[in-house]
Amino acid sequence: MDDGTTPAGACACPHINRDDQRCGNRFTLTRLDQAFTVCLGSFNACPMYHRINCEISSARNENVGCMPRVTLTTNGSTSTLRRTGT
């Protein structure tokens, strides 16, 4: 089953047609070389490619998340911490 996250013999990012605004900065005339190098070449090195894959996986399985939660117990009190990205 092809879920759109793995290219089938292609060297283009499988998310290139998703119209994700986070990727839009590469599709300008001044950064067109980046679009060809990254999006149509070495997209495995792109952090946004991995982030989108993680979001897709998280949406399919609620037990898997991009930002794992940590349970902290102090003096018998339990708190759940989540990564904020900062």
Residue 13 makes CB contacts below 8 A (sequence gap 6+) with: 7, 38, 39, 40, 43, 46, 49
Say whether pTM exceeds 0.75.
Answer: no
* Residue at 6 is within a domain: no
* Residue at 8 is within a domain: no
Low-confidence residues in the chain, pLDDT < 70? 1-10, 61-69, 82-86
Total structural domains within the chain: 1
Host domain of residue 64:
21-82
Coil, helix or strand at residue 66: coil
* Residue at 65 is within a domain: yes
- Please report the pLDDT score of residue 74 as a whole number: 85
Q: For residue 31, give the amino acid letter.
A: R
